[in-house]
Amino acid sequence: MIKQNHTSIQQFLSAGAITLSLGWLTACATTSSSLEQKAHFDTQLPHTWQSVNSSQSTLDTAALSRWWQRFDDPQMEALITDAIEKNPDLRSALSTIRQARAERGLESAELWPSLAASIAGSGTQTRDLNNSNSTHSDSYQAALDASWEVDLFGRQQQYVAAADAALAASEEDYRQAQVTLAAEVASTYLTLCSYTTQLDIVRQNLATRESTQEIVQWQEQAGESDALNSQQSIAATEQVRAQIPELEQSLVETRNSLAILTGRTPAALQGQLQLPTSFPSAPANIAVGIPAETLRQRPDIRSSENTILAAQARLTAAERSRLPSLNLSGSIGIEALQAGDLLDPQSLISNLAAGLSAPLWDAGRIRRNIEVQNELLQQAYLEYENTVLNALAEVENALSSIDKRNQQITTLQRACEAAQNATQLAQLQYKAGEVDLLTVLDAQRTELSLDQSLTSTQAEALNAHVQLYKALGGGWDTSSANETL
């Protein structure tokens, strides 16, 4: 039944609409009219994404599984591979899966009888106070006891179904952890690229200002300039120099973050990591498919589906607690006065008992438990709805961010080119005495600011691609996931 319900949800996604109702999911196992209360949401999926002209192409799941290879950066690719193998949080998610499997085994064990064996011996001595005579007697017992609560109406089977769904949800949570981890490593690496590029820009700008400062000092020594210009030049130079320690500290912190993500100590990563000198290449295009394909690809939505199925099964089990239960018990035992007689067939004793019981009055415990499980199911529905809506918004945000950041980069590139030319012209005109020092310093300050803005925007544009891959559910594939799980 769990598989059938899961298929039904996927069929709804394929049709472009999500309609989940409590009555639909519980129709297969309802035993009480309390489930007549409906709880549902109806969200019509868009057929295309708003932020792209055409998204009808099929989602490329093969490329999504290792999307970081499309950035053409071997170091970033190696970092993500190491993180997937060694990250502590990912290993913790694997432990959660093993726990869910063990809990599923506990529920399955309740379907089978339990068997216990016992062997006991005792001796008794009686003394007569009148004549000091005493008597001694021994007895020996061996027994094999069995008990079994027959799953007469399938209540325990529902608990097993709930455990199956919970196990499937934990496996999807592991895959979602892979998706999140790959995106986090890539984003951190891009931040590292941004800081190294900005540090290089600041150092180049510092060299230019130091050159200007030397000219001003020469002019002051020659009497062609005053101390004010010299102090203004020094202040501008030192202001730029002060940015270097801050950027170097940011580099250290970012590198240490990468070490944590890859499951290494900062010292271990520092010996292997080479600071990037440029940004990775942005992917030329991404086949985003249609929204329904994205929802089927995302592990967090698949996990929410299984959470609904688990909650449904627990609710059905709570409903079936109202029905009678059948208990069987039996034992085969041996009672003998001597240990040697334990193997005597004539000492064999056996019994079998069966009992049928049903709850008559429990102060509302079963009814309250049903209400609890029903509310948990409603919460699962709402969480599923929230996950779907967030997924759609994340894809739209990432697509829009890529487009807007690319527009911003084009504008900033023109501005940076103009600022560089302005700085060169200002320096030439200052040497010729046509402009004052403040014009040169202002041109240099504008050039530095625009170069840093361009670097930050380039990092944001690449990170938007990373967030799009994450929003599309990229970063895992069925074959590798099954081998790991």
The sign of the dihedral angle between the CA atoms of 175, 178, 180, 182 is negative
How many helices (H) and strands (E) the chain has is answered by 14, 6
Q: Supply the pLDDT for residue 35.
A: 32
Q: How many beta carbons lie within 10 A of that of residue 263, not counting itself?
A: 18
More confident residue, 268 or 29: 268
The angle formed by the CA atoms of residues 268, 272 and 277, to the nearest 5 degrees, is: 130
**Residue 334 predicted with pLDDT over 50:** yes
pLDDT tens profile 281-327: 988 878 788 888 888 899 999 999 999 999 999 999 999 988 888 77
Q: Supply the pLDDT for residue 262.
A: 93
What confidence category does residue 219 fall into, taking pLDDT thresholds of 50, 70 and 90? confident
Coil, strand or helix at 347 = helix
What CA–CA distances, in Å, run from 173 to 299, 393, 460? Answer: 7, 20, 27
Q: Supply the pLDDT for residue 349.
A: 59
Amino acid residing at 380:
A
- Domains of the chain (ranges; CATH) run 2-111+154-322+364-484 (1.20.1600.10), 113-150+324-357 (2.20.200.10)
Q: Supply the pLDDT for residue 63.
A: 81
**Residue 14 predicted with pLDDT over 70:** no
Q: What is the mean pLDDT of residues 442-459?
A: 96
Q: How far apart are CA 476 and CA 261, in angstroms?
A: 17
More confident residue, 65 or 141: 65
**Residue 209 predicted with pLDDT over 60:** yes
| Phi, psi torsion values for 133, nearest 5 degrees | -85, 150
Amino acid residing at 191:
T
Q: Give the helix/strand (H/E) hosting 327.
A: strand 325-336
**Residue 2 predicted with pLDDT over 60:** no
Does residue 422 contact residue 443 with C-beta atoms inside 8 Å? yes
What six digits make up the tokens of 370? 């049903």
Amino acid residing at 426:
A
- Looking at the chain, the whole-number percentage of residues with pLDDT higher than 90 is 49
